[in-house]
Structure formats: structure tokens, C-alpha cells
């Protein structure tokens, strides 16, 4: 049974009526919020708050000894970032509105409506978590350092963009809100999700599933599980991935491919933290943190009515956009060395020497498959090398094949339309500019530049000599 308190800081309920305290406590507990503290004597309220500041306070206005308005003034003055929800009788609704002007977050009218109470407390918790996230992010930006560098050990980078993302991840990891990771195929979205889980310190497991291709029934069974006899072939109870990820992280990859029916079920899970295994008629509370990823633009899918707007907004409470390898070119040499070491160990070979021109050549390549593509290229080259030097032929052949394929599909090597100056340059001028640009991108390495231009190194050398004479 899960015993981890949620939220991590308690919800404090202050009311002189024991029946109200019991009712609110029961409702919140059944909704999965098991860290609730009650106070029936208003004179003790401030001492409880000072002992451990709560995440949310529910405060009755009409109490003996010290009324709610006086407590509101004290707490709002000393702890302005704790959301305070006023509990009031119908005749005091106007007073409750005045209290909101004095710093209260929201109000609930007695008798307490269960759905209104749960929704208001959840909204308050989200506000509280976002506030703590903003404070953590500001502090990390000020100090410019990571608290948990070991959590990112599997991500090879010196890129400022990536290091900035690491700081953001540390600031949001402790919240329970969803995270949406967007990035091209092969950019390492699952590695980022695992890093978020590691930094969060959650006691449960990291459970990953690719939802692409799952129809609605398979999605429900995979995530929610089923009871014995729920359908033909269901010979025993089967826990879903949500149960396996209790107090941990559930990672849903390629969320953009989720069918409409499954989108509705996921939205309910995120909003209410509730789910129902197939074949059961009672709901269960989810304690898993949900992280999703996609390589497509959910805004475009939303405009085409292929993805629910409300689900999109719920998923992107926290959003991470991973840079492509084209935006991390300074990492290429480091990644080549890392993948060469891993491949050599896997193939039980000595790690070969890596020629300098390889990095120069690859830094000009656009890597449609990103880091995963580079890893495959290096592994293939290690498998083929025999003389102690990593062969460039494997990389040249791969790049040539990709460019030929893109030319057939798009008409040029990048799939991006060419833009010409006006007036048009002459063939001679265009050739010079093309050669100069290739040499610049290759760091003056003729072998790498020739590979970009699709000519031999000797042909490029002759062209450079001719250009020098023409100056």
C-alpha cells in the first residue's frame, strides 16, 4: 500500500466544527490527498503554520476565540504565498469576497460541495507547486549550477541550450504536474524523462510505454489494467502501468498518435487523478506523475481537430523543447568519442583512433535522425574498422545515401527551397561562394569540404588553386 504523503506539505483545515473537519478530511483523503492536518481551536492555528508551513489552508470565518478574518490577516502578512481557501456560510458569501480582496485564494460555501472542494484544493495545490518551481528556477539561474549533476550523466553534452534545460528540469522535477517533451526523432526524449524522474526523488518506478499504434481498448488495458473475466481471455487480474508507476513516473511516448477515445480517458486521469480498470465499477486513485513526449507539433494537430485542446493544455503545464543535433554541433566530437567507446566495448574491439576530419565533416551534416543516427553511424564504422583508425568511408557513404534519398523526395539535399539573390550570380560566382562556404563549414579541412560538395578532395584542391590564381 502506498504511504507517501501527498501533497508533501500538509493541507491545513481550520474550523471549530468537528463534523466539518471530519467531512473535509474524508473527502480529501478519498481524492488521494492523504496529507491533511486539522485544527479546531483557532488560537493554535498560527503555531501550526509556523511549525511547518502548509501547502494550502482551508479557513472557516466564524469561529470563537479568534475569527477567520484575523487569522487571514496574520497568515497573508507572514506567508503571502500560501493559498488560503475561505470556508463560509451562505449568509457570509459577501464577506468571503471581501476576504479574497485581502489575500484569500478562493472560497467555498457551506454545506461543502464535494466536487467544488476537490477542484478548489487541486487548483490551489497547482498554484503552490508552480510558485515553488519559480523560486527554484530563479535560484538556479542566479547560482548557475546543478544540484543533481549525476541525474544527467547519461546525456553527453556541453551545449549551453542543454545545460539550461537541465536547470529547468531541476526546478520542475519536484512538482506533480505533467511535463510535455517535444523534440525531433532521436534527440533523447526518453533520457530527459528519466532524468526528470531521477531528480524528482520519487520512490516509485519509471514506467515507459510508446502509445503509437495502440487502439482505445489496448490503451485502456495497458494503462488501467483489468479484472478477471473483464473480457474473453482475461483469466486473472492484471495491474496496469499506472499501478506499476505508483509514486513514480509514467512516461507516454509519441502522445500525438493517441486516438480520440484514449485522449478523453487520459484527460480524466490527469484532471481527477482517477482511473478505472476494465471490468471494475469503482475508481482508483493514481499517484503516478505523467510525462509525455512527441515529435510532432500538437498545436497543428489541435487545429486539425486531431488532438483535444483541453488535453493539450493539461499536458503542457511544464514544457521542454529539445534542440536537434544541428543546434548542438559542438557536441558532435564528444558524442563520436562516447559512442566509439561504447561500440568498441560491445563488439569487444580496441577503440580506434578517431581522425580529426571526421568531426569537421559531420558538423556540416544536417542529421535528420539526430543523436540516434550518429550513434548508428559510429557503431557501423566500429564494426567495420580493422586498421586502428576509424574509417571515414562508412560516414561518407551514409551521408551520400541520405542526400540522394532526400534529393529524390524533395528536389535538393535538405528539403528546403533554395533562395537566390537578385540579380542572379554567375556560375563562376556561385561556384566560388559554394566552395568558400564549404571550406568555412569544414574548418578549412579539404577532405570534409569535398565530402559536402560531393567531389573528390583532389578536385576541390584544384579548384582552390584556380580560385587563388584568379584573385
Same domain, 173 and 283: yes
172 is in which domain, residue-wise?
145-323
The rounded Cα 50 to chain-centroid distance in angstroms is 34
CATH, residue 263: 3.40.50.300
Q: Cell digits for 53?
A: 508551513
Indicate the pLDDT class of residue 139, thresholds 50, 70 and 90: low
Task: Please identify, among 323, 358, 380, the residue that sits at the C-terminal boundary of a domain.
Answer: 323
Same domain, 193 and 229: yes
Same domain, 269 and 176: yes
Q: How many structural domains comprise the chain? A: 2
Same domain, 157 and 114: no
388, exposed or middle or buried, with CB in 10 Å at 0-12, 13-18, 19+?
exposed
pLDDT at residue number 1: 46
pLDDT of residue 56 exceeding 60, the answer is yes
Tens-digit pLDDT profile for residues 90-127: 656 666 667 777 778 888 888 889 999 999 998 898 88
End-to-end CA distance of the chain: 80
Distance, in Å, from the CA atom of 452 to the CA atom of 357, rounded to the nearest integer, reads 12
Look at residue 432 and tell me if it is in a domain: no
Instruction: With residue 208 as reference, give the H or E element that holds it.
Output: strand 206-210
Tens-digit pLDDT profile for residues 161-208: 898 899 889 989 988 899 999 999 999 999 999 999 999 999 999 999
% the chain with pLDDT above 70 = 91
Tens-digit pLDDT profile for residues 426-453: 888 888 888 887 887 776 777 777 777 8
pLDDT at residue number 93: 63
pLDDT at residue number 140: 60
Task: Please identify, among 298, 323, 348, the residue that sits at the C-terminal boundary of a domain.
Answer: 323
Distance, in Å, from the CA atom of 79 to the CA atom of 76, rounded to the nearest integer, reads 5
Task: Please identify, among 288, 304, 323, the residue that sits at the C-terminal boundary of a domain.
Answer: 323
% the chain with pLDDT above 90 = 46
Distance, in Å, from the CA atom of 185 to the CA atom of 223, rounded to the nearest integer, reads 24
Q: Cell digits for 144?
A: 548557475
Amino acid at each position: 500500500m502506498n504511504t507517501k504523503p501527498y501533497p508533501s506539505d500538509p493541507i491545513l483545515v481550520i474550523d471549530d466544527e468537528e463534523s466539518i473537519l471530519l467531512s473535509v478530511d474524508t473527502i480529501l483523503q478519498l481524492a488521494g490527498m492523504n496529507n491533511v492536518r486539522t485544527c479546531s481551536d483557532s488560537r493554535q492555528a498560527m503555531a501550526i503554520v509556523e511549525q511547518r508551513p502548509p501547502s494550502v489552508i482551508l479557513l472557516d470565518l466564524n469561529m470563537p476565540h479568534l475569527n477567520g478574518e484575523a487569522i487571514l490577516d496574520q497568515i497573508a502578512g507572514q506567508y503571502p504565498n500560501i493559498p488560503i481557501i475561505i470556508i463560509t456560510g451562505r449568509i457570509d458569501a459577501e464577506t468571503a469576497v471581501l476576504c479574497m480582496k485581502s489575500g484569500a485564494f478562493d472560497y467555498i460555501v457551506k454545506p461543502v460541495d464535494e466536487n467544488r472542494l476537490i477542484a478548489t484544493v487541486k487548483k490551489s495545490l497547482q498554484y503552490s507547486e508552480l510558485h515553488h518551481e519559480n523560486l527554484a528556477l530563479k535560484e538556479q539561474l542566479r547560482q548557475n549550477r546543478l544540484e543533481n549533476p549525476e541525474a544527467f550523466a547519461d546525456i553527453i553534452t556541453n551545449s549551453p541550450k542543454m545545460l539550461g534545460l537541465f536547470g529547468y528540469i531541476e526546478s520542475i522535477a519536484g512538482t506533480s504536474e505533467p511535463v510535455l517533451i517535444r523534440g525531433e526523432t532521436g534527440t533523447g526524449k526518453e533520457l530527459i524523462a528519466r532524468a526528470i524522474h531521477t531528480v524528482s526523488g520519487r520512490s516509485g518506478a519509471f514506467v515507459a510505454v510508446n502509445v503509437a499504434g495502440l487502439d482505445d481498448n489496448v490503451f485502456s488495458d495497458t494503462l488501467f489494467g483489468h479484472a478477471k473475466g473483464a473480457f474473453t481471455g482475461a483469466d486473472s487480474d492484471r495491474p496496469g502501468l499506472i499501478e506499476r508507476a505508483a509514486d513514480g513516473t509514467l512516461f507516454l511516448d509519441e502522445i500525438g498518435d493517441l486516438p480520440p477515445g484514449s485522449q478523453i480517458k487520459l484527460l480524466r486521469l490527469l484532471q481527477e487523478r482517477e482511473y478505472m480498470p476494465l471490468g471494475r465499477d469503482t475508481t482508483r486513485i493514481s499517484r503516478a506523475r505523467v510525462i509525455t513526449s512527441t515529435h510532432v507539433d500538437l498545436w497543428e494537430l489541435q487545429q486539425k481537430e486531431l488532438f483535444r485542446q483541453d488535453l493539450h493544455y493539461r499536458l503542457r503545464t511544464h514544457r521542454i523543447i529539445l534542440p536537434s543535433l544541428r543546434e548542438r554541433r559542438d557536441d558532435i566530437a564528444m558524442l563520436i568519442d562516447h559512442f566509439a567507446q561504447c561500440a568498441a566495448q560491445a563488439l569487444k574491439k580496441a577503440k580506434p583512433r578517431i581522425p580529426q576530419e571526421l568531426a569537421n565533416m559531420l558538423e556540416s551534416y544536417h542529421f535528420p535522425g539526430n543523436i540516434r543516427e550518429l550513434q548508428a553511424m559510429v557503431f557501423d564504422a566500429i564494426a567495420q574498422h580493422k586498421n586502428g583508425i576509424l574509417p571515414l568511408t562508412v560516414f561518407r557513404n551514409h551521408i551520400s545515401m541520405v542526400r540522394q534519398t532526400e534529393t529524390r523526395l524533395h528536389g535538393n539535399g535538405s528539403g528546403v527551397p533554395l533562395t537566390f539573390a537578385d540579380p542572379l550570380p554567375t556560375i563562376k560566382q556561385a561556384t566560388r561562394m559554394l566552395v568558400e562556404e564549404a571550406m568555412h563549414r569544414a574548418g578549412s579541412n579539404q577532405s570534409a569540404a569535398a565530402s559536402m560538395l560531393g567531389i573528390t578532395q583532389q578536385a576541390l584542391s584544384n579548384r582552390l588553386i584556380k580560385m587563388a590564381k584568379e584573385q
